[in-house]
Structures are given as C-alpha cells and as structure tokens.
Amino acid sequence: ELKVEQNPLFLSMQEGKNYTIYCNYSTTSDRLYWYRQDPGKSLESLFVLLSNGAVKQEGRLMASLDTKARLSTLHITAAVHDLSATYFCAVDPRDNYGQNFVFGPGTRLSVLP
Amino acid sequence: KAGVTQTPRYLIKTRGQQVTLSCSPISGHRSVSWYQQTPGQGLQFLFEYFSETQRNKGNFPGRFSGRQFSNSRSEMNVSTLELGDSALYLCASSLSAGELSYEQYFGPGTRLTVT
C-alpha cells in the first residue's frame, strides 16, 4: 500500500523563526507536489517537483525533493502570520501504481505574532 | 483563464437520498479527478475521468459514481447517502499530456452535509 507521511502534523511557531516540514513516501516516484489549504478553502498549488534534486523557492518557502530517500522537505524561512495554513504534500505514483495523487495527512502550521 | 468551478458549493441532504455534484475543468484540460476530504480520513482519491472514460478509481463503494461529458465537464453521484459521506468534495483538472501534465488544479469544493 502506498503511504505518504508528513512530519510534524501540527506546528506552532513564532514569527521570524525557521522550520522544516518533512514528507516521506513509500513508493518510487519522481513527481511530488506541495499544496496549501486555508480553513474552509480549496487547495492552492505551491510547488511542482519533477526530478531528483529539484529545488523550488517562492518567497519564504523552499521545497526540495530527494527521490532516492523518498523524501521531500518544505522549508519556511522567517515565518510570518500569513503563512498560517495546512500544507499537504502529494505523490503522483501513476507510473508504478496507475493511481492518482496520494496525499499526506497535512501539516497544520500556526505562526504566532 | 477561468479556474475550476464546482456547483453547488454547499448542499444539505438527508440519509438515503442521492446527490449529484458538478465540476467544470479549466478550458483545455481533459482530465478531471474527484477527491473526498474529511477530518478523519484526509484527502482521498475517488476517481479520474479522461476523454469521457474512467481512467483510475480509488477505494470507494459503488454508491460513488461519476461520468464525464464530451466538453470535459464531470459529474459525480452518490446514492443512498450515509452520515459518513459528509465531506468536502474537491474536483481537480489537469492537461494529462506531457511532462507537466499531471499537475492538478483544484476547484473550490462542494461542502456536503448529510443529516
């Protein structure tokens, strides 16, 4: 069974601090996506990572992918309150399983002023 | 370019009833996927349609069904509703061709409450 895990599930941090969210998955895949979800809202695409070693940055967020370790990270630099949301990683295992995206459980981030 | 649209946005139904949700993908996108999001189970894949054919299916009972029309619009139907079907139903569309084809763009969702 394909599993996608995220760590931590809950994260409360002070503004200005740095932190990393981890996403581990159990299948070989070189397609991983990060999404953000605000309460009561839909999913907003943050990053598309399509190869081993891929690194993408947008503002205070940076995502990377290590397909050999089956690990992706989402690094937050100098957090601000506006980053408070739930962050999901999703693995596309289509080549191996023929199924659609498998999402992690999400990391609920709360940035305190 | 308009995004993915879903109707209705909110729905309240009674146990035993059936419901139909609609999704219009981004213009030019031919793949439509449906997901169920609940606090307990998280985001779970229901099914994917491409060119009017179901291409992939998640692990949901047969009460959940869907279809896609020639203009790529999709509907999902849930029959004999149960309390546990209360959820946010998200539709996502993608191009489904080429390297970036599988990037999915999500609609605002339909919040279904079963009483």
Q: What is the DSSP string of chain A?
A: ---EEEE-SEEEEETT--EEEEEEESS--S-EEEEEE-TT--EEEEEEE-STT-EEEETTEEEEEETTTTEEEEEE-S--GGG-EEEEEEE--HHHH----EE---EEEEEE-
Q: Find chain B residues with C-beta within 8 A of A41's C-beta.
A: 108
Q: What is the mean pLDDT of chain A?
A: 91
Smallest Cβ distance to A103: which of B42, B100, B108?
B42
Q: Is the pLDDT confidence value at B65 over 80?
A: yes
Q: Is the pLDDT confidence value at B13 over 90?
A: yes
CB atoms A42 and B102 under 8 Å = no
Q: Is the pLDDT confidence value at B92 over 80?
A: yes
Q: How confident is the model at residue B73 (pLDDT cuts 50, 70, 90)?
A: very high
- A96 burial (CB, 10 Å; 0-12 / 13-18 / 19+) is exposed
Tell me, what's the pLDDT at A69? Answer: 93
- Mutation test of the interface with chain B: which of A9, A31, A101, choosing the one with the most B Cβ atoms within 10 A? A101
Residues of chain A with pLDDT under 70: 94-99
With CA atoms as reference, the chain B residue closest to A48 would be B103
Tell me, what's the pLDDT at A30? Answer: 74
CB atoms A35 and B105 under 8 Å = no
